[in-house]
Amino acid sequence: MKDCVRARAFTLIELLVVIAIIAVLIGLLLPAVQKVREAANRLHCTNNLKQLALACHTFENTNGFFPLAYTNPNGPNSMKWHTWTPFLFPYLEEGNRVSNYDFASDWWKTPNREIVATKVKSLQCPSTPNPDRIQDKPEATPPNKTGAVSDYFPPTGVNAEINQYLPATDQLSPNSDLRGVMCWWSAKNLVNKQADILDGTSHTILMGECAGREDVWRKNIMTAVNFNVVPKVRARGGAWATPDNPYEIGSRKAWDVAFGPIPFPPGINTSNEWGHGFYGFHSHGANFAMADGSVRFLSSSTELKLLAYLVTRAGGEVVPTP
């Protein structure tokens, strides 16, 4: 009589042990995968800012000045409300996007309304939650100001209110030139020239991150939008076409009173609300394009005084070597 050989099956305990081992391995691998993904996103964001900086310099080489942060009807050539982005698109290989853009009409009105609804990947940081957001700001008189968003902006200068967050020994002089590289139009600032950057191009910020607008973010926590408020509670300036995109850093209060005072001083990654500081979704800091065309990653622990020094183009401050 032949012996019968019976295949041995897994016991329930052995199966549970295998599942537990697999779960432990996944738990060990997941942080590594997340770190690799974030590293790739941060590199992508760096490249976006690099391309924007190069476009700014190409524009400056062609026209003799950097684009204005925004235009308005009181500015040169009686131009309507526009921001810096459509001026740069021809230098970002996006000229076709604005071939029918009408600078004689405001950015949210036809024919521009349809153009600014287009999402532009080079203006979106891949680390930002829901990068394909759309700004839709209700207006008392239609149409609403609607447009695809950007996670980048040029700081137009430093708000004098920043001194409320600085010790007396570090406060900025009211006689200092607190303007940034790309200002808006004013009687004292018709154009933004390379020669205006007296603090040194490697020591001056050209572009930075203010990601996640119009959602409101404070230290990586999103504050719920109140849709019952008109205009709805928001982080002003989300759309890439709105003149609200750029701003001075250092404001002491939230843009919308419905949120209450911002509980953190201006800085990096404290709040993405208009006029506050810079905000990115990278670990421990944000990306910045400098006026010399380089891109730097600045830590969220960067001193506010140093950040202000880096924003001004001719403040005369001595910036320490990192």
When the pLDDT of each residue in the chain is averaged and rounded to a whole number, the result is 87
By the 10 Å C-beta count (0-12 exposed, 13-18 middle, 19+ buried), 89 is classed as buried
Written as six digits, the tokens of 308 are 């202000």
The pLDDT value given to residue 217: 92
Q: Which residue has the higher pLDDT, 10 or 294?
A: 294
Whether 280 contacts 48, CB under 8 Å: no
Whether 234 contacts 265, CB under 8 Å: no
The pLDDT value given to residue 253: 67
Q: For the chain, what percent of residues have pLDDT higher than 90?
A: 60
This prediction has a pTM of 0.85
Query: pLDDT for 247-261, tens place per residue?
Result: 999 987 666 666 677
Query: pLDDT for 24-56, tens place per residue?
Result: 877 776 666 566 687 899 999 999 999 999 999
pLDDT class for 57, splitting at 50, 70, 90? very high
The pLDDT value given to residue 319: 82
Query: pLDDT for 220-235, tens place per residue?
Result: 998 765 545 545 557 8
In three-state secondary structure terms, 216 is strand
The pLDDT value given to residue 311: 97
Q: What is the Cα–Cα distance from 57 to 24, expressed in whole angstroms?
A: 50
Q: Which residue has the higher pLDDT, 85 or 175?
A: 85
pLDDT class for 19, splitting at 50, 70, 90? confident
Q: Which residue has the higher pLDDT, 94 or 1?
A: 94
Please state, in angstroms and as integers, the Cα–Cα distance from residue 288 to each residue in 86, 231, 268, following that order. 21, 31, 11
Q: What is the Cα–Cα distance from 125 to 297, expressed in whole angstroms?
A: 14
The pLDDT value given to residue 291: 97
The pLDDT value given to residue 158: 95
Average pLDDT rounded to a whole number, residues 263-290:
94
Q: What is the Cα–Cα distance from 142 to 159, expressed in whole angstroms?
A: 32
Whether 295 contacts 53, CB under 8 Å: yes
Find, among 194, 187, 184, the residue nearest to 64 by Cα: 194
The pLDDT value given to residue 130: 86
Average pLDDT rounded to a whole number, residues 193-199:
93
In three-state secondary structure terms, 277 is coil
Please give the angle made by the CA atoms of 213, 228 and 133, to the nearest 5 degrees: 25
Written as six digits, the tokens of 177 are 């030139």
Q: Is the pLDDT of residue 15 over 90?
A: no
pLDDT class for 113, splitting at 50, 70, 90? very high
Find, among 280, 276, 267, the residue nearest to 307 by Cα: 267
Among the residue ranges 57-71, 143-157, 211-225, 275-289, the one predicted with the least confidence is: 211-225
The pLDDT value given to residue 78: 65
Query: pLDDT for 120-148, tens place per residue?
Result: 999 999 999 988 889 988 777 889 899 99
Q: What is the Cα–Cα distance from 86 to 243, expressed in whole angstroms?
A: 11
Whether 82 contacts 107, CB under 8 Å: yes
CA-based end-to-end distance of the chain: 85
Q: Which residue has the higher pLDDT, 236 or 305?
A: 305
Query: How is residue 238 annotated by DSSP?
Result: -
